[in-house]
């Protein structure tokens, strides 16, 4: 079983393991919608069977945004964290952004998608230094 939560902690969720559980088809999506919604270079998304996904706390804190008819993004109305997306065309699955998970997971991403929409400042192969925390010399603001 995996657990996840929003930034403010109002909303908590679990994803069951087993045959019908876990996370499928994890991809890094560079499309402009994912970039805007996440505010980052790309979003890492995966599908979860609706039966395996349980909001264990804070369902009343969820708000919904519909960008296209029948498609809904459910997010914490207090902190804005994306919790899951649903699609009326496929009610058997929901989609999550993997950053909300608190658990280590066994599954791994399988591809980078919508590379034609990739931000021009996002260079996946850049030989930039890898830091465990902030970069050297950052002035920390409190």
CB of 29 to Zn ion, least distance (A): 3
CB of 78 to Zn ion, least distance (A): 5
Q: Which is nearer to Zn ion, 41 or 105 (CB)?
A: 41
CB of 9 to Zn ion, least distance (A): 7
User: What residue ranges bind Zn ion (CB under 5 A)?
Assistant: 6, 8, 10, 29, 31, 34, 76, 78-79
DSSP the chain: -EEEE-SSSS-EEEE--STT-S-EEEEEE--HHHHHHHTSS-EEEEEEEGGGEEEEE-GGGEEEE-SSTTEEEEEETTT--EEEEEETT-TTEEEEEGGGB-S--S----EEE-GGG--TT--TT--PPP-SSSPTTPPPP-
Q: Which is nearer to Zn ion, 21 or 31 (CB)?
A: 31
Q: Which is nearer to Zn ion, 48 or 76 (CB)?
A: 76
Q: Which is nearer to Zn ion, 49 or 113 (CB)?
A: 113
């Amino acid at each position: 079983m995996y657990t996840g939560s929003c930034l403010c902690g109002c909303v908590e969720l679990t994803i069951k393991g087993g045959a019908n559980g876990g996370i499928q088809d994890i991809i890094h999506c560079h499309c402009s919608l994912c970039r805007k919604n996440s505010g980052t270079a790309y979003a890492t998304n995966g599908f979860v069977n609706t039966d395996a996904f349980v909001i264990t706390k804070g369902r009343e804190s969820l708000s919904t945004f519909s960008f296209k008819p029948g498609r809904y993004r459910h997010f914490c109305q207090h902190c804005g964290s994306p919790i899951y997306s649903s699609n009326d065309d496929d009610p058997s699955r929901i989609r999550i952004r993997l950053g909300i998970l608190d658990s280590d997971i066994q599954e791994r991403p399988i591809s980078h998608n919508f590379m034609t929409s990739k931000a021009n400042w996002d260079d996946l192969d850049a030989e930039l230094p890898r830091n465990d925390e902030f970069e050297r010399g950052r002035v920390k603001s409190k």
